[in-house]
Amino acid sequence: MSNATKSILLAGVGGQGILRASDILCLAFMATGLDVKKSEVHGMAQRGGCVTSHVRYGAKVYSPIAKKGDVDILLSFEKLETLRYLDYLKADGVVIINEEEIYPPSVNLGDAIYPGNIEVLTSRYFKKVKCVNAPDVARRAGNARAINTALLGALSNELMITDDVWNRVLKESFPQKTLEANLQAFNLGKLF
């Protein structure tokens, strides 16, 4: 009953550039001649809440959202958010985790504990788990906001999209002013 559609779930916190990253990802799939759909929810979620974006691609994509247990790659922009969406992954799903921690209000107020060992826990259930210190990569690339391109770089290792296509799409997506840093962040992200 499965079809060949693949799914990537991007998850994180409002303001981390997730929607931008998923737009770029879609353009890259389009450039390789595939059908692509993405879905996210705007609105309330932007005010520091959870943000997710589903990106699905293949010869012919129906639903823009994936069902639980059917996601190929979870690209998590924030450590804790990884846990929230693990149940979306397939058994052989790949997890890419940004090591950044953003405390939710209950943790800030000391009413809840930010779970420890998230990477270890995730590795217990999924074979391929990669951790990226994206803020560090972005800073080294010269633009602290390039977290999203750094993570796209790490993600690109899991996808069959050529460097050529990535370069073209990144060039279309950023103004001259920030392009260099974003290309750099992408390339550094690829080293993970």
User: Is 161 among the residues that bind another protein (CB under 8 A)?
Assistant: no
Contact 92, 127 (CB under 8 A): yes
Which among 56-64, 151-159, 173-181, 184-192 is the span making contact with another protein, rule CB under 8 A?
56-64
Q: Which of 32, 59, 68, 157 binds another protein (CB under 8 A)?
A: 68
Burial of 108 (0-12, 13-18, 19+ CB in 10 A): exposed
Q: Between the CA of residue 191 and those of 133, 153, 167, what are the distances in Å?
A: 11, 8, 16
Q: Cβ 186 to another protein, closest distance in Å?
A: 20
Residue 33, phi-psi category: left (phi > 0), alpha (psi -120 to 50), beta (remainder): left
User: Is 141 among the residues that bind another protein (CB under 8 A)?
Assistant: no
The total number of residues shown for the chain amounts to 192
Contact 113, 93 (CB under 8 A): no
Q: Cβ 89 to another protein, closest distance in Å?
A: 7
Q: Which of 49, 59, 128, 172 binds another protein (CB under 8 A)?
A: 49
User: Is 119 among the residues that bind another protein (CB under 8 A)?
Assistant: no
Task: Using the minimum distance from each CB to another protein, give the nearer residue, 64 or 190.
Answer: 64
Burial of 67 (0-12, 13-18, 19+ CB in 10 A): exposed
Give CA–CA dist 186/182, Å, rounded: 6
Instruction: Map the footprint of another protein across residues 7-36, applying CB under 8 A.
Output: 13-14, 23, 26-27, 30, 35-36
Q: Which of 5, 182, 184, 187 binds another protein (CB under 8 A)?
A: 5
The residue ranges that bind another protein (CB under 8 A) are 1, 3, 5, 13-14, 23, 26-27, 30, 35-50, 61-70, 80-81, 83-84, 86-87, 89-91, 93, 103-110, 112-115, 125-126
